Amino acid sequence: MKKILVTGGSGFLGSHLCDRLISRGDDVLCVDNFFTGSKQNVKHLLTHPNFELMRHDVTFPLYVEVNQIFNLACPASPVHYQHDPVQTTKTSVHGAINMLGLAKRVGARILQASTSEVYGDPEVHPQPESYWGKVNPIGIRSCYDEGKRCAETLFFDYHRQHNLDIKVVRIFNTYGPRMHPNDGRVVSNFIVQALQGRDITIYGDGSQTRSFCYVDDLIEAFLKMMETEHGFTGPVNIGNPCEFSMLQLAELVLKHTQSKSKLIFNPLPSDDPKQRKPDISLAQQKLDWIPKVSLEDGLKETISYFKKILPTI
């Protein structure tokens, strides 16, 4: 049995990770300040003897004894990370410093949940890990993009300077049950609007593309990455390379919700990437991992979840 710390553990990704860790017999310490996470996401785990929930903000040091750390703490949608951009940067940067310091003290292996946003609005397509990105350092998304880039810098400097055992994954668009209904992300936006019979809002002309990875596939990659050999640090792209335009996504949501919602078009937000698709050849080679859940199957599960929770919010 490992003692594993999951920061941001009551959030969308964190709660699914806690589920998997508990199901395989690990002892899990879930840490969250509940800015975007919800106790509801881990409510079913609260009575489990191997699960502990702690309210804590990673911008402050944490003193616990653990074997592994999954550092997921940070608001990940524009609505949430732009609400308090200074705090968003602090969460990425101070949070990384505090969790790296903890890992160094207790000799733990630590995984950083980074993001495809480190590539910015890419000039290379699809994006390999070797691409350095095209990021605006002073835009409205910079608090998140540059915060995550700086966190990666800190991870690699701790690795070089202190021989810390680090793992870095770059997450591309992920969706599934427990997404926050008001997070402003395209999948949750479209589903909520369709289920409520409101117009579906498309930004730009709908031709911009994203690659959507179902949450179960992503968590599997997390676990595989954490178990790779010492010395393999990443970064590793984790995402689904099947590319869809916003119009294609909207049509699939309309089909599976059987909604009569109409499509409306609004101006594209500042610094919004026009293309996003991972090159996952490194994940295939090092993790023996490829995503298995199709967008249609994943959307059915996600729509089913939103049908249950929408009457309660």
Is residue 116 pLDDT above 80, yes or no? yes
DSSP characters for 126-171?
SBPTT---B--TTSTTHHHHHHHHHHHHHHHHHHHHH---EEEEEE
Rg (CA), the chain: 19
Residue among 219, 222, 227, 306 at smallest CA distance from 259: 306
pLDDT the model gives residue 313: 54
The per-residue pLDDT of the chain, averaged, comes to 95
Is residue 252 pLDDT above 70, yes or no? yes
Taking the C-alpha atoms of residue 113 and residue 129, their distance in angstroms, rounded to an integer, is 14
pLDDT the model gives residue 271: 64
Taking the C-alpha atoms of residue 114 and residue 262, their distance in angstroms, rounded to an integer, is 35
Q: Quick one: average pLDDT of 275-283?
A: 93
Tokens describing residue 32: 């969250």
Taking a C-beta distance cutoff of 8 angstroms, is the pair 211, 278 a contact?
yes
pLDDT the model gives residue 274: 79
Residue with tokens 């929930």: 53
- Single pTM value for the model: 0.94
Taking a C-beta distance cutoff of 8 angstroms, is the pair 134, 122 a contact?
yes
The CATH architecture of the domain made up of 3-175+213-240+277-292 is 3-Layer(aba) Sandwich (3.40)
Catalytic residues: 144
Is residue 62 pLDDT above 90, yes or no? yes
Asked if residue 126 has a cis previous peptide bond (ω within 30° of 0), the answer is yes
Lowest mean pLDDT among 181-190, 213-222, 246-255, 286-295: 181-190
Distances (CA, A) of 6 to 82, 129, 153, 240: 24, 25, 21, 24
Taking the C-alpha atoms of residue 224 and residue 182, their distance in angstroms, rounded to an integer, is 31
Taking a C-beta distance cutoff of 8 angstroms, is the pair 273, 208 a contact?
yes
Lowest mean pLDDT among 45-49, 120-124, 232-236: 120-124
Q: Partners of 265 in the beta sheet?
A: 202
Read off φ and ψ for residue 249, nearest 5 degrees: -65, -45
Confidence of residue 244 (pLDDT cuts 50, 70, 90): very high
pLDDT the model gives residue 178: 97
Percent of residues, the chain, with pLDDT higher than 90: 87
Residue among 275, 272, 292 at smallest CA distance from 283: 292
Angle between helices 295-309 and 246-257 (to 10 degrees): 60
